[in-house]
Amino acid sequence: MSKVILITGASSGFGRDTAETLASAGHRVFASMRDVADRNRPHADALRAAGIRVIELDVTDDASVERGVALVLEQAGRLDVLVNNAGIGCAGVSESFTADQVRALFDVNVVGIQRMLRAALPAFRHQGEGLIVNIGSFMGRVTFPFFGLYGASKYAIEALNDSYRYELSQLGIDVVLLQPSTYPTNMFASAQRPADTARGDAYGEIGTIPGKMVETLMDRFQGEHAPDPHDVAEAIAWLVEQPNGSRAARVVVGDPFGADLVNEQAASVQSQLMEGLGLAQLATLRVVSPTSGN
């Protein structure tokens, strides 16, 4: 059945591929991005040419988020799936990133999701159903040195995702976290670089490691066995098609680097915790009649 889907950060990378994949599957897709009339105009035009609706939406701006979601509801009459894909990366000696840089990182990667959820959830609650797919990372479970600030934002999404999954389960709203591995997208090319380079220089030879790590990843991405970023779009398309109540809380895509093992252990701990709190029922999605409202 065709669904109305809103995707953030859809100008390129996972978001662009996901928009095109879901539209090809027959869904009514709204691809959102910043600077539709300027920097992202070529991307917006290409998506429109493929029959995908494009809307201006900046996840760091409350008013922009509210306008974007309202526009989807106005044009489509409902919203079935929200894919929170917008995000930025960073790589370098952690000390060399300024507080302003870290604040900007979290504003997109974490607070941006909160803005989107606050804008979309009233419609989902009214409908009595909905699917939220939050794009996390394997780095939200395991830590790569020199990528720790990016990982910290993804660790935050882990808690945010679980809390919303529990809180919304009895309202018929499903929340799933996708944990992609390393893939050849523009994330590394557009990632934040340290503003205070002198701090990194003070680390001597250690300070050269992040650059070498990125080079190694770039070489891997050019190799014969490079991971295919389309895996992520396919995983999201698969989640969209799954019946309500059947989706896993987390889905790892690509090399897990041990994140799958952490997921298993954390799930066991969470299950015991919820039972101890007397809230075990919140771990299971209640499929609510769409006509009942909330």
- Tell whether 292 is covered by a domain: no
Task: Quote the domain boundaries for residue 210.
Answer: 4-283
Q: What is the side-by-side order of every strand in the sheet holding 173-180?
A: 53-56, 28-33, 4-7, 81-84, 130-135, 173-180, 250-253
Q: How far apart are CA 86 and CA 32, in angstroms?
A: 9
Are the C-beta atoms of residues 194 and 96 closer than 8 Å to each other? yes
Are the C-beta atoms of residues 132 and 176 closer than 8 Å to each other? yes
* Catalytically annotated residues: 150
Q: Given this model, what pLDDT does residue 294 score?
A: 42
- Tell whether 166 is covered by a domain: yes
Q: Given this model, what pLDDT does residue 66 score?
A: 98
* Residue 256 structure tokens: 């897990």
CA distances, 79 to each of 92, 124, 260 (Å): 39, 7, 31
- Tell whether 288 is covered by a domain: no
The string over 82-113, giving b where at least 16 C-beta atoms fall within 10 Å of a residue's C-beta and e elsewhere, is bbbbbbbbbbbbbebbeeebbebbbbbbbbbb
Q: How far apart are CA 100 and CA 113, in angstroms?
A: 19
Q: Which residues of the chain have pLDDT under 70?
A: 188-189, 289-294
Are the C-beta atoms of residues 14 and 86 closer than 8 Å to each other? no
- Tell whether 80 is covered by a domain: yes
Q: How far apart are CA 31 and CA 10, in angstroms?
A: 5
- Tell whether 228 is covered by a domain: yes
* CATH number of the domain within which 249 lies: 3.40.50.720
- Tell whether 290 is covered by a domain: no
Q: Given this model, what pLDDT does residue 194 score?
A: 95
What's the total number of domains in the chain? Answer: 1
- Tell whether 150 is covered by a domain: yes
* Residue 241 structure tokens: 């098609």
Q: Given this model, what pLDDT does residue 289 score?
A: 62
Q: Is the pTM of this model over 0.75?
A: yes
Q: Given this model, what pLDDT does residue 292 score?
A: 42
- If we measure between CA atoms, which residue out of 46, 82, 128 comes closest to residue 294? 128
- Tell whether 85 is covered by a domain: yes
Q: Given this model, what pLDDT does residue 220 score?
A: 80
